[in-house]
Amino acid sequence: MATLTTHPDCVPLVSYRFGKGATNIDKYIQLQGYEAARKCLTLGPEAIIAEMKASNLRGRGGAGFPTGLKWSFVPKQSAKPKYVLVNGDESEPATCKDRLIFEHDPHAVIEGTIIAALSVQAKMGFIYLRGEYRYLLQIMEKAVADAYAKGFLGKNIFGSGIDFDVVTQTGAGAYEVGEESALMESLEGKRGIPRIRPPFPAVVGLYGGPTIINNAETIATVPHIFRIGAATYAKLGTERNGGTRLFCLSGHVNRPGVYELPMGYNLKKMIYEVGGGIPSGKKLKAVVPGGSSTPVLTADEIDIGMDFDQVGKAGSMLGSGGVVILDETTCIVEFALRTMKFYRHESCGWCIPCREGTDWLEKSLIRLHAGGAVDKDIDNIRYLAENMLGRTFCPLGDAAAMPTIAFVQKFRREFEDHLNGKGCPYHHAAEPEPALV
């Protein structure tokens, strides 16, 4: 149902089997499937982790932490069982890439999970999809059953004497559960409330055992690293940013879609060449480069390479790969408000700065957008957002605050244009001001 979009600059690595019928396990095997897992069985844990480190693969969920390093933090000896947890709770607005992986190449997720397990000698893995992706759960469940039937999962996998079980399930609608510690709570049958860290999941994770937790795209990339070799993989990208990633283009762009491009690919080129530019010859106003939580870039800040370090240097984040393109007709205040409405809805309420901060920021932005604000309200918005930063158990508070600060900083003029009863100059229907309780 969801398909990959291609462009001559695309490098089909993670998407190598998309559209080739690889949900069928025999087809997957024909396309070099499960060769990486067999290879890793002979390599052993240390060599697997060394290869992962050499690949320069960094977490595709948003934070960009080096995957091999993360795996190396899991202690060799543990009294409690170790686990692998695949985070397919893809919920960051503007992100729709993991969906393609589950739909087209479910066995790559299973194979990546097996390799992660071999690297730390875990005996059980979980693949957790977001609740809205029910049709993908059916695909994943069949793939898991087929892998069991072939002896790739269960007792004595690939005749190696090693046991490994995989359970797959969905959540039930909660952005917060995409956060690693909240995801573990959810998988334990509880409300998705974040845990304090340290200890990190690598030491105390699911059911209290050491846990590898990675984004679904990260895990699905792993077999390809062993298929083509870590050095070759690393070379596809830029320094310290190995490989390719699935970028999701959305918003005001002629050819929205999910494209697999090398890490470090130029953002301007991505919008104008890969995405075909802005519809109806309109001008670009801004770009949100990595999902709704990443600080906005203005039209003259987009001549940058899309890797974690270069986007970081430009003052934003590569995040989840969701690139949102805003043309000149977009009201930044309305966009900031819609973003905040989301975070207010999704705040789990556990930490006061996030629970109260998102609520007050939404109210302030509604009032500002409707024209009911005065000059000092703009500074108040920024002050509120700045006071949420770093003061919560999980990154949701930061995710709400960071883009807000950037909107005010970079588009203050647009905020001012709404003040003192003027309302929205873009003539969008303003939402009614909420009744104060």
Closer residue to other proteins (CB): 225 or 361: 361
Chain residues that interact with other proteins, rule: CB under 8 A: 1-2, 5, 81, 90-96, 98-99, 124, 130-135, 167, 169-175, 186-192, 207, 248-252, 256-258, 288, 292, 322, 324, 326, 330, 335, 338-339, 342, 345-346, 348
Provide the minimum distance between the beta carbon of 113 and other proteins in the complex, in angstroms, as a whole number.
Answer: 16
Q: With beta carbons less than 8 A apart as the criterion, state whether 31 and 20 touch.
A: yes
Closer residue to other proteins (CB): 256 or 262: 256
Closer residue to other proteins (CB): 184 or 405: 184
Provide the minimum distance between the beta carbon of 81 and other proteins in the complex, in angstroms, as a whole number.
Answer: 7
Closer residue to other proteins (CB): 178 or 242: 178
Provide the minimum distance between the beta carbon of 198 and other proteins in the complex, in angstroms, as a whole number.
Answer: 23
Closer residue to other proteins (CB): 87 or 170: 170
Provide the minimum distance between the beta carbon of 47 and other proteins in the complex, in angstroms, as a whole number.
Answer: 29
Provide the minimum distance between the beta carbon of 366 and other proteins in the complex, in angstroms, as a whole number.
Answer: 15
Instruction: Tell me the C-alpha distance between 206 and 213, whole Å.
Output: 9
Closer residue to other proteins (CB): 96 or 306: 96
Closer residue to other proteins (CB): 100 or 311: 100
Provide the minimum distance between the beta carbon of 437 and other proteins in the complex, in angstroms, as a whole number.
Answer: 20
Rg for the chain, CA atoms, rounded: 22
CA angle 114, 116, 120 (to 5 degrees): 110
Q: With beta carbons less than 8 A apart as the criterion, state whether 296 and 403 touch.
A: yes
Provide the minimum distance between the beta carbon of 165 and other proteins in the complex, in angstroms, as a whole number.
Answer: 8
